Structure 1
């Protein structure tokens, strides 16, 4: 069982993703934006940060950058409805981060999470 911090600003999507990850056996802390995600890392050790790229307040890339400083070795996976190519050119994108483009099937999300956690 992994500790997953999920940051997604769309409430229904957030609940949908959290439910699927919990069903797969993971402990999930789900928050609605990057600022709440950073606050959640105080006292919570995450194995994986699963973050939407576009969020109000603090976007997913900046969230991942800050989170990696707070918890070195944190694995990062972005979920996005935008072209993944744009992320690969960003210097701030954490090394080893994976990108899952929307729309995706929940089974694929769980498989990608499992793959990241065992790598």
Structure 2
């Protein structure tokens, strides 16, 4: 595991966002979280992150657009989508970053942490 990986989380559900932040911080990651894609994007422009963890369906800027812009800013950033709508992310027309990982809700926090650690180690 890489300790202190910086993760940017964009999730508009307050409870879900709190759970995710706590689980990731408990696993040793530094997490900055936002409740919409636009705010997350502005933060991405200010500093680099190892991983963008984003919901797909959000107000202001959806996760797919956020991921596209994030990979334009930093081609090395890793992307993981969390969604109840996996089919949306998997649509080839949506232009999601090619190496993006998709985690479908509902999932266990341990599963999320394991997937994040695997992606960061890759």
- TM-score in same-fold range (> 0.5): yes
The reply to whether residue 49 of structure 1 matches residue 52 of structure 2 is: yes
The reply to whether residue 37 of structure 1 matches residue 40 of structure 2 is: yes
Give the corresponding residue for 2:88. Answer: 86
| C-alpha displacement of 1:60 | 0.3
How far, CA to CA, are the matches of 1:59 and 1:47 in structure 2?
20
Gaps of 5+ in 2: none
User: What's the RMSD between the two structures over aligned residues?
Assistant: 0.9
TM-score (norm: length of structure 1): 0.95
Of stretches 48-57 and 89-98 in structure 1, the one that deviates more from structure 2 is 89-98
Q: Which aligned pairs between 1:61-100 and structure 2 lie closer than 5 A?
A: 61-82=64-85, 84-91=86-93, 92-100=95-103
Determine helix, strand or coil for the equivalent of 1:20: helix
Give the corresponding residue for 2:14. Answer: 11
The reply to whether residue 107 of structure 1 matches residue 85 of structure 2 is: no
TM-score (norm: length of structure 2): 0.93
Q: Which runs of 4+ in 1 moved over 6 A?
A: none
Gaps of 5+ in 1: none
How far, CA to CA, are the matches of 2:14 and 2:20 in structure 1?
10
How far, CA to CA, are the matches of 2:72 and 2:39 in structure 1?
16
**What is the number of equivalent residue pairs in this alignment?**
118
